[in-house]
Every structure is written in C-alpha cells, then in structure tokens.
Structure 1
Amino acid sequence: MTGHAPEMQTGAEARAWLAAYADRLLAAVQPYASPSGSLITLPGKPGGYGTAVDGLEGFARTFLLAGFRLAGEDGADLHHLAERYAAGLAAGTDPSHPERWTRPEEHGQAKVEAASLALILDMTRPWIWDRLAPDVQERTVEYLGSVVGDSGYPDNNWVWFRIVVETFLRSVGGPFSAADVARDLAAHDRFRRPGGWFADGPERSFDHYAGWALHLYPALWARMSGAASVAEAAGDDLAVRSATDREHLERYLADALALVGSDGAPLLQGRSLTYRFAAAAPFWAGAFAGVGRPGQLREAATRIVRHFADHGVPGPDGLLTLGWHHPWRPIAQRYSGTGSPYWASKGLLGLALPPSHEVWTAAPEPLPVDDGDVLTVAAAPGWAISATRGDGIVRVINHGTDHTLPGSDPGDSPLYARLGYSTATSPLLDADAWRSPLDQSVVLLDADGRATHRAGFETALVELVETDGIAAAVLASVADTHWIEPDTSAPDHGSGRPGESTPAGRITTVSLVRGPWEVRLARVSTGSAGEAVALRIGGWAAGSDLDSRIVQLVGVGEPGAAHHDDATPLGATTTPWIRYAPVPVGWVGVGVHLARTPDIGHPRLELTAGQATVTWPDGRRTTATLP
C-alpha cells in the first residue's frame, strides 16, 4: 500500500458516491429494527450498557444519517425514511409501549442519544416533527424535557447534548432552563485552548472529540430554530459567540487538515476510534460555518470516508462493527455497544447541504500532504505534526497529551500518553500495553521487566526552530515516572487505569523532529531511579509494509524487537527497542524512523554543553538547547 493521494472527484461525483454509501448503511440496518421501528439492535455481543441502550443508540445514530439525507434533498424521501423514523419516535417515547426507549433519567447514555434526536427533529422539521400526531409531539417533549435541570452531565463534550436538546425544546414550547444553558456554554468556553483547539474537559484530553463534538455542535447549534432565543435567555449573544466559534474552528482546521494522511487515514489516537469516519465531521462543520476552502474541506472529508470504504467498511452485510478496518472488539471502550459505531454518521454530515452549496460546487483542492512535506506544531496538545509527501504518512510526536492532569500518577493510556501516533500505525492496545508501556515510550524497568508510566508529566517545550535554513520541531517533557498496580475493575473510558502507584525516577525526554525521523534524547535524573535496573526506549509498532526502526546515536544499549500478532486493529506489528542496563548517567540519544520505505542513512547527533546538534540524512543541521 502506498500513501499517494487518490484521484480527486468533482463535487457532484463526491456527493453521489457519499449518498449511495449512506443509503447502503441505512438499508443494511433495517432488518435489525424492532417491529415498531423504535429500536435498532445490531448483531454482536451487547455493549457495556446493555441491549436496551444498544437499541436506542442504533436508532438515534442512524437517525442522524437519515436526517442528513432528508435535509440535503429538501425532504425528497425515496426510501421512506421520515415515515419509518417517525413510527420509531412514536413507540420509543411511549412509556407504555413494550419497545419504549431507555429514558435520560434512567441511564446517562440516553442523554447523548437525546441530542441526536433533537438535532434531527430540528433539521428535518417540515418532514417529521410537523407531521407527528400531537400526542407523539407531547410525548417527545416530555421525554426530552427530562434533561432540564439534570446535574448528571459530565464536564466534557456532553454539555453540548443538553444545549442542543433544550434549544429544540425551547423552539417547540417545551421546558427549558436558561441556567442550564448558561452553565453549559461557560463549560464549553473553559475547554477552549489556543490555536483553535478544545480539550474534552479540564484534563489534557486532546483527541478527535475536539472536531467531531466540540467544534461540530456549535456550528450546527447556531442554525437551530431556537438558538438565538436560548442564547439571549442565557445572557449570551449568539452572533458574537458564533463569530468566535467560527474563528476558532478556522484555526483548528489548519491543524486538522494537516492530520489527514494522503490515503485518507485519520490519526489513530484517542478514545472512540470505532466511530471511524466521524473524523470527517469538522471539515463539514467548516462548510456549515462558512470557514475554510470548500473544495479542500470536501476533499478531506470524502477522502476519510473513502479510506474506510477502500478497506472493506462496512463489511459484506453492510453493517458497521466495533473495529477499524475490520471488526476488532478491543478498540471499544466500556460505553461502546453494537449501535455505537453509527456515530460515524457525522462523517457524512455534508449530505445535509444541498447540491447547490459551495462545498459541492467548488473545484477540488489537494490536502496539505499532497502538496509537500508538512511540519508544524500544535501547542495546545503539545504535538509536532510531521507529514511526508513521498509516502503520505502523518506522524505526531506527543509531549503534551495524556488524558490527565500534570502531577497526577495514573497508568498511561496507550490512546493518549505515547510519544508518537500516526495515520499508518496504531498504538499497541492489548492488555500488556495498558500495564507496561512498550511502543513509543521511554521507560525504566524493574527486575521483573515492568515498565514505568509517564502520565502526569510536565510539558517543557513545544516549538519550531530554524537552523541552517531548515525548520525542525523541538519538544520536551519531564515525567516523574512510576510503576502502577492497575485497578482492573475501573471502567474503561479511554483514560489510563487508576491504581497503586510507586515512584520510579524522573526522566527528561527531548524530541527533534523532521520528516520521517525523530531524534529522541532521554536522561534519568541522578539518584532517582529507585528499583530500576534499566532504561528502555521503544519505537513505532508497525506492520511489515512499513520501515520502523531505532538507531543508536549517543550511548550504547542492547537493541531488540517485540512482535505482536493481534495487539492492534491493523494486524501484526513489530516494535523495535533499545535497552540500556544499568540505567545510564547523562543523556542517551536515538533516531526513531517511520516510513513506507527505508531511509538512506540516518541522523547524527552531537551533544555539547547544554545543546544538541542533529545532522539529518540530507546533510542539513538543527541545533537546539536542552532543558
């Protein structure tokens, strides 16, 4: 497989292909609808919240896609979507019906699904809501109205679920709390970070939720019928807020576009990866908000969906499963059920825009990686983003994200705390990876071979430097590493496992990044290594079609590699590593490489008083000050 970009389609071609893809997804779930249509319970082992929630998710998340199709076709309904989903609404909201829905006050997940219901009822108002019988409308208002005043919303992207529901309720004369909306908008503002980014809550939680939730909902909310009056009642100005949201989204899109591989692969990082092409949502949000270049936004979104289609998604039965390219249950979190993957519907949001919209009429434009190598830094998540045109891979070197707070000491989440992520690799996600980090890590080892964790580290540096006429990214972090006995009974929501922590030693890690290479330096503070007997540096966990290797630059260690047959959703991997025993004094340095073909030569590293100078394989040089 190469990373070269596929041939770009016209907007009309792209829209026709996406519409056919969406219609296939919607047709495939119909045999799994309950007799009333209120529950769509897809095959497979029930999710962690049970079959009833799975069935509600199956309805609500495919309702998103059905609503996008109706809105984009101005109500034209060749597949009788409005009729089918209206019947489901009538039964699901009826408390006496045997196929009634789990209510928001009965289970928190229903609060999430309520937002999808409200969003689409607003978006398709003339074709569904306005045609519902009055008693069904009343029951729907009563069902959704149970969220008003509810204090059980987590302090993360969930705040938007209540904003959306209460906005719809306000527009139809239902219950509404200005205090709820004011509180939730204030929370959203607290999540705002520099450079267009959002954190998914107060922790360093940077992932796809920034785009498919925290940027998406503001763009759609501003178009809802009740948004202006809701904002005014909450003491907010919709026009001012929307202008701020658009500006923030436009800046985010610059980074988001750079994170898409030339083959359309999104970054394999963060929780809820089974939502797959929901990663396309922020590009459609840009189209709705009127920011960004329409042809490029369409190309990014469409290419992400095509990436999965080209890898067999959905499968022959037309269903989305818990997995990535193929079914792979370990990718799921506890909250993931058989209906959960249909949040991928957000990646087809562009279909809600009519064929005359500029996102469909604009000429296609290439992605950043199509035009040349990309190197930039995103300060909020603490990332260097390095994409190479030759193979189309995007790599992220991470010194700022761990899904926790500085100074805390849980276990590392492989989804967040690794030193690197890419569009061509997955972090190791088997049980061992949660207990003892290997890939993309710098760890201390005890006599039993247990590796330390770095969650709670402090970011020291994230910047671009220019030396000798070329740019490189320089990042650094300092971790008070620790061993942990994880609490395996804790629910898996994607973050690192809590447990009993034992201090190990302080490690300073520095990354100099250019092209397919990261020069990684590590130093263990003198006298702080505790029971550690060795230092180990791990590289990329990669398949056989990739060149993943580590070369020694400063210090002498023992090289090795670990093979895993089924520790990632991408299949078999090999992870190279270098082990230093005893724990070295002073800096050690390695070159970490990921590409589709081997590089000719490797970097060289010189250390002088307080400085590191890297000579890259092409002879260019980068000098950086060490922390």
Structure 2
Amino acid sequence: MTVPFELPEENRELSPYTGYTRAHWEAVADGLLEAAWRWATPEGALLDLPGRPSVSGVRSDGLEGYARTFLAAGFRIAGSGGKDPGGLLDRYARGLAAGTRTPGRDDTESWPLILDHHVQGQPMVESASVALGLMLTRPWLWDRLDGDVQDRAEQWLRGALTHVPAPNNWYLFPFMVASFLESVGRGDHSTRGARARALELLETWYRGDGWYADGDGRAFDHYNGWALHLYPLLHAQLTGDAELSARFGPRLRQHLEGFSLMFGADGAPVHFGRSLTYRFAASAALGIGAVTGHTPLTPGASRRVASGALRYFLDRGAVTGDGLLSLGWHGPHAATLQRYSGPASPYWASKGFVALLAPEDDPLWTAPEEPAPSEGPDRVLALPAPGLLIQSTGADGIVRLHNHGSDHVRPHEGETADLADALYGRSAYSTHTGPTSPANVPDNHLAVEVGGAASVRCRIRALGAGQGEGWGWAASWHRPVFAPGPPMVPGLRVQSVTVALGRFELRVHRVVGAPAGARISQTGWATRAHGSQLAGLSGWTGSDEVRAPQGTAYEPWVRIPRLTADAEGTVLLTALACLGTAPSTPPLAAAVRDVTVSDGDREVTVTWSDGARTVVGFEPVRVTHEGT
C-alpha cells in the first residue's frame, strides 16, 4: 500500500534491506503531523481526530492528539537542530497558551485538569509528552514564550506531581514532568520527590535480563521499550545525568540483546501485550540505544530493525487515506484496542522518532544496513527473569515468543475468568500471527474442560528457562480458571514446558488433579493458510481443525489445529508444533522417531529422527537435549 504523502526515493545502496534513510523518517513524521493538524481547534490546543472516543472522553482525546504529535514534532525538530519546515513550533506554542488559559473549563480550547488516575487519569499520561516536547524544543519554543504562559504551563503540569498515577509505568509521567521543570529552573521538593519515587519503583520492578515488570506483578511487554527504558535514558541524555546513564544504560544494552530478536525479517514486532496500536513505537528502545550508545547492535543493524518496523506498518495500511494513523495493527482492528484507546492513541508511535535525535552524520544514518538478528541462522534465546523464550528461524524470518512468565494479573487480584487476557494468556505469540479474539477458539492454548466449561490461563508462575547450543526451554505452571461456574477446581494445576529447536516447538504439559469426566484440548498457531502444524506425540487421542471467523490482527479469518484427550487424575501430554510459511513443509510426525513416558507420568523422552534425544521431567522441572 502507499501512504498519502510523498516519500523520498528508496536508497538500496545505503539501505539494501528497507530502502529507507533518515530522509524517509523525516518525511513520515512531517506527513503524519501535517495530516493530524488538519483536525486542530482554532487555536490549536486540541487535535480532535475523527473516530470513536476513548473511555476518557473527547476532550482528553483532543489533548492526546496535541501531546502525542508534539512528541513527534519534538524529536523531528530537535534532531534537525531547530529546523522547522512545517512551522510546527508556532502552532504548538499557540496551542499551549490556549490550552492552559483556563484548564478544566468546558470550552473549545481548554485542557482537562490532571487528576488521579482513577478519576481522570489520561491527562497525566499526556503531561509527559507535553513536558518532553517542551524539553526537546526548549531553545526554539519554551524560551520564547511569555512569562505568564510559562507560569500557566507549569501550573498545569504540576498536576502530575500532586495526583496519583496508576501503579505501573505511569510513575514515569510525573518523572518526565519533573525532569522538564528542573531543566528550566522550576524544580523544588515536589519535582525531586517525583523523580526519586519513580527511580525507587524502577529498582523494585527490575527483574533481570534487561527486563522490568510493568508494576508489582509480572507484566512483561512492549512497555519495557517504549516507557520503562525510554524515559530514564531520555532524561539522562537530555540533562547530562551521567550517574543515571551509567545505571540504566547497561540494562538497556542487555534488554536489546533479546528484544532486538523480537522483530521478524519483514519488520514486524512480536504481537504480544497491550497497546499494540502504538505500532512502530516498538522500535523506541532501539532508537534510544543507538542515540545513547547503550546498545549491542551495530548502527547498520539498529537502523535496519527500526526502519523495518516503520516500513512494515506503512506498507500494510496503518496510515489511512487522510494521512492519519488508524486504531489497529495493519489497518483498523478493534480487537487490538483497549478501553483507553482513542483516535489519537496510535500517535504514541511518535516514540519511534527518538532515533531522529541522532544527527544526520551519525553512523545510525550513514552506515550501510546490516541484517536484523532474526535474519541470520536459527536462534533460540531463553530469558529466565521474565520467563520468555524467543525462537527465530532464518529461512522464513519468523520470530516466535513462548510465554512462561508474563501475565496481566496484579499481585492483589485473585484469579477469575474475567481477568483472562488474550494478549498475555496464550502460550505463544509471533511476528506472523496474532491471538484470536475472546469470542473465538483461543490459539496456542491448553484448556481443561470441566462440565462443558473450558479453562483459561490467568496468573502464570515461571518455573525456569535455559538454553544450549541451538535449543532452549522455558517452563511454568498455572491454575485453570473457569467461566461460568466456580473459579477453579481444587487441586487442579497444569505444568507446562516448551522446548524450541530449529523450527520445532515441543510442548509438554502435565495436568495434575483432573476430575472425572474432564477433557483437555491443545491448540496451535492461528493462520488462514496451512502454515500451522500440530501433532500429538503422547497422551493425545483426537485431532481436528477449528475456525476463528473473527480472525486476528493479521488475517480476517483463520484456522487453528487442535488436539484433544480425556483425562482423570494426572496425565502427561506431549505435542509437536510448527509455524512456517513453506507450503511443502514435511509432516511433523516424520521429525520424531520415538516417544517414551516414564517415572509415573513425570518424564517424557523424545527421540528425534536424526537420533538426538530431548528429556523433559517434572517435580522438579528438568530439561536436557543431546545430539544434533
């Protein structure tokens, strides 16, 4: 598909993989900003983009339009040394003056007040983008404002310092507000307190392997890159805070060791977690890594992955004919959205433009593109801290993420079926497929069916992860939760292990405490074509294929392979799955020579067709692999 604004000619000599250069990034930023500003209020305080309102209401949505596009403008202008070909700074200055004149008033221009997250929370999110935009453009915007406009802007921003954020990455919003106010000589005990509190929480949320939990639970997702790593390092970069750079930089470097592998050869990020309508914001961690030097990637590889993500979405209809980013993934897609998603929400994609802070003569833009991590040999990477297993195959460039540690259940919450989240609860995600909707059969899911009700997976307890040469594993357990009916069956639990080897996924489940009459099902990848295979190796007695008519973010209609078995007490079930694009992929059964279950349904040994052996045991979990 083509975008409704002009892009430069491709440069395949400098960028042999994507054709994109820095000029393409600038052109995309300019085109998106110009299109969005067509929907501004007369004085420019609100950008009321067309579409269904979020739960926060149209006024908050209009502020979101101003703030998130200001973020893109800030990166664009700061990275160009103040050059402003679209005359954006005057527009944002007028909008700031109008929006802060009478905050909270129900008129054409006034911004909503910043209140507690559970009362009127969204403006606190947007305050960080306003503050960061002002910080980035300070010499050309803030320093030229009248003193009374500066005072009004400070007063509005301070609402973020005096109200309660949501208990997660939101604490970084007052952190950025404080960072800006201190940078312009308006700091005090409130700004110092906001920064100290955010940094204190980040330490408690850091779990290792370069990953933060998004709050006190175990939500590991794209918020790591576009929030939890991005804001502290932006603060350090813009303020010259060497101590924070030294603390957070190595964590980002370690994060990128694994996260950079989570982009397919076609540029797609792994479709996993909430807020996916932010799209190429997923490249923000790569961008800030390149800008600050805290990255394991070469400049050419960093640009290849980031430009690949940008082009991936532009080529697949993310931008409408009006030049606006749609609410969805490729194009509009309702199942991708959350209640807080409004017409301007996709403009958090602006965070991807952080790469523009690298000047035009930086190696990020001048070095030839190099292959993305997923374009080399087959790779398997275990991340024990978040309980994730990344698997990529160079032949097709598909990346799979096996989830044995990330959920969306907060520590104080119980386990009920209404907490099930398709964006976290499935056992695997990829750059080629998305989860099916809750109204359809779930993909990549083991369900225990009791009394006609199928279970969901809510809280995930990680049991470990590890790897050897060319292979890796991750394990977890969960309590099956049912709806309708009681929340769980006493004593029932599911222990799960995934072993990734080349293109294969060995999926082993040990179901303990299944009541009489229980039935178990295991599904595979959701695709329209026959690129998804699932074969029962032990314990399974039936197989079929089911349909998900609502489709996924990738396809409007999909099929899912499924295995079934009756169960009572303790059963051990082994299956082999594969996701690929080759139409002539050999049947999975040919990959395995023998399967043996032993130790009272606590251990399974899989002998592969080439003579290699994989052993998976339970209580405790143990995984070994010997051979090629």
Q: TM-score over 0.5 for the alignment? A: yes
Q: Secondary structure at the match of 1:431?
A: coil
The alpha-carbon deviation at position 404 of structure 1 amounts to: 2.3
The alpha-carbon deviation at position 485 of structure 1 amounts to: 4.2
Match of 2:5?
Answer: none
Q: Does 1:279 align with 2:282?
A: yes
Q: Could you give the per-residue CA deviations for residues 529-567 of structure 1, whole angstroms, max 9, x where no partner exists?
A: 2365201111111232x5112111112422122212224
Q: Could you give the per-residue CA deviations for residues 65-113 of structure 1, whole angstroms, max 9, x where no partner exists?
A: 1111111111111110111111111111110664111121272111110
| Unmatched runs of 5 consecutive residues or more in structure 2 | 1-10, 622-628
Residue type at the aligned position of 1:600: P
Q: 1:303 to 1:401 in 2, by over 3 A?
A: same
Match of 1:155?
Answer: 167
The alpha-carbon deviation at position 291 of structure 1 amounts to: 1.9
Of 100, 111, 114 in structure 1, the residue corresponding to residue 124 of structure 2 is 111
Q: For the Cα contact (< 8 Å) 1:67–1:352, is it kept in 2? A: no
Q: Does 1:535 align with 2:504?
A: no
Match of 1:454?
Answer: 457
Q: For the Cα contact (< 8 Å) 1:294–1:362, is it kept in 2? A: yes
Residue type at the aligned position of 1:138: D
Identical pairs, percent: 38
Residue type at the aligned position of 1:429: S
Distance 1:356 1:196 in 2: 29
Distance 1:210 1:316 in 2: 32
Alignment of 1:125-274 (within 5 A): 125-150=138-163, 152-174=164-186, 176=188, 177=190, 178-225=192-239, 238-274=241-277
Q: For the Cα contact (< 8 Å) 2:287–2:354, is it kept in 1? A: yes
Match of 2:66?
Answer: 59
The alpha-carbon deviation at position 432 of structure 1 amounts to: 4.6
The alpha-carbon deviation at position 452 of structure 1 amounts to: 0.9
Q: For the Cα contact (< 8 Å) 1:452–1:504, is it kept in 2? A: no
The alpha-carbon deviation at position 516 of structure 1 amounts to: 2.2
Match of 2:586?
Answer: 600
Q: 1:126 to 1:542 in 2, by over 3 A?
A: same
Q: Secondary structure at the match of 2:465?
A: strand
The alpha-carbon deviation at position 303 of structure 1 amounts to: 0.6
Q: Could you give the per-residue CA deviations for residues 254-289 of structure 1, whole angstroms, max 9, x where no partner exists?
A: 101111100000010000001011101000010122
Q: Does 1:444 align with 2:448?
A: yes
Match of 1:353?
Answer: 358
- More displaced 10-residue stretch of structure 1: 34-43 or 455-464: 455-464
Residue type at the aligned position of 2:242: A
Of 91, 97, 111 in structure 2, the residue corresponding to residue 84 of structure 1 is 91
Q: For the Cα contact (< 8 Å) 2:270–2:429, is it kept in 1? A: yes
Q: Which of structures 1 and 2 has the larger relative contact order (alpha carbons within 8 angstroms, sep 6+)? A: 1
Distance 1:616 1:267 in 2: 29
The alpha-carbon deviation at position 601 of structure 1 amounts to: 4.1
Residue type at the aligned position of 1:371: G
Distance 1:594 1:194 in 2: 29
Distance 1:464 1:514 in 2: 10
Q: Does 1:415 align with 2:429?
A: no
Match of 2:625?
Answer: none
Q: For the Cα contact (< 8 Å) 1:400–1:459, is it kept in 2? A: yes
Q: Secondary structure at the match of 1:460?
A: strand
The alpha-carbon deviation at position 119 of structure 1 amounts to: 0.7
Of 94, 103, 112 in structure 2, the residue corresponding to residue 102 of structure 1 is 112
Q: For the Cα contact (< 8 Å) 1:295–1:359, is it kept in 2? A: yes
Q: 1:500 to 1:535 in 2, by over 3 A?
A: closer
The alpha-carbon deviation at position 577 of structure 1 amounts to: 0.7
Residue type at the aligned position of 2:444: Q
Q: Could you give the per-residue CA deviations for residues 140-180 of structure 1, whole angstroms, max 9, x where no partner exists?
A: 11111222232x11221111111110121122233532222
Alignment of 1:512-523 (within 5 A): 512-523=499-510
Q: Secondary structure at the match of 1:223?
A: helix
Distance 2:66 2:101 in 1: 15
Q: For the Cα contact (< 8 Å) 2:443–2:526, is it kept in 1? A: yes
Q: Secondary structure at the match of 1:574?
A: strand
Distance 1:218 1:100 in 2: 30
Q: Secondary structure at the match of 1:147?
A: helix
Q: Does 1:563 align with 2:543?
A: no
Q: Does 1:547 align with 2:531?
A: yes
Distance 2:470 2:460 in 1: 26
Of 385, 402, 405 in structure 2, the residue corresponding to residue 400 of structure 1 is 405
Q: Secondary structure at the match of 1:49?
A: coil
Distance 2:292 2:212 in 1: 17
Q: For the Cα contact (< 8 Å) 2:533–2:577, is it kept in 1? A: yes
Residue type at the aligned position of 1:160: L
Q: Could you give the per-residue CA deviations for residues 505-537 of structure 1, whole angstroms, max 9, x where no partner exists?
A: 222222221122211122222xx2236520111
Distance 2:609 2:54 in 1: 49
Q: CA RMSD in A?
A: 2.3
The alpha-carbon deviation at position 408 of structure 1 amounts to: 4.3
Match of 2:320?
Answer: 315
Distance 2:339 2:488 in 1: 23
The alpha-carbon deviation at position 461 of structure 1 amounts to: 2.8
Residue type at the aligned position of 1:399: H
Q: For the Cα contact (< 8 Å) 1:482–1:501, is it kept in 2? A: yes
- More displaced 10-residue stretch of structure 1: 338-347 or 590-599: 590-599
- Tell me the TM-score normalized by structure 2: 0.89
Q: 1:457 to 1:81 in 2, by over 3 A?
A: closer
- More displaced 10-residue stretch of structure 1: 168-177 or 266-275: 168-177
The alpha-carbon deviation at position 7 of structure 1 amounts to: 6.1
Match of 1:475?
Answer: 474
Of 591, 594, 600 in structure 1, the residue corresponding to residue 576 of structure 2 is 591
Residue type at the aligned position of 1:431: A
Distance 2:113 2:352 in 1: 27
Match of 2:3?
Answer: none
Q: For the Cα contact (< 8 Å) 1:483–1:504, is it kept in 2? A: no
- Tell me the TM-score normalized by structure 1: 0.89
The alpha-carbon deviation at position 202 of structure 1 amounts to: 0.9
Q: For the Cα contact (< 8 Å) 1:8–1:299, is it kept in 2? A: no
Q: For the Cα contact (< 8 Å) 1:485–1:501, is it kept in 2? A: no
Distance 1:202 1:112 in 2: 19
Q: 1:69 to 1:522 in 2, by over 3 A?
A: same
Distance 2:617 2:482 in 1: 30
Q: Secondary structure at the match of 1:70?
A: helix
Q: Secondary structure at the match of 2:226?
A: helix
Distance 2:552 2:354 in 1: 29
Match of 1:576?
Answer: 561
Q: For the Cα contact (< 8 Å) 2:318–2:332, is it kept in 1? A: no
- More displaced 10-residue stretch of structure 1: 325-334 or 499-508: 499-508
Residue type at the aligned position of 1:549: Q
Residue type at the aligned position of 1:353: A
Distance 1:504 1:539 in 2: 26
Q: Secondary structure at the match of 1:285?
A: helix
The alpha-carbon deviation at position 472 of structure 1 amounts to: 2.1
Match of 1:494?
Answer: none
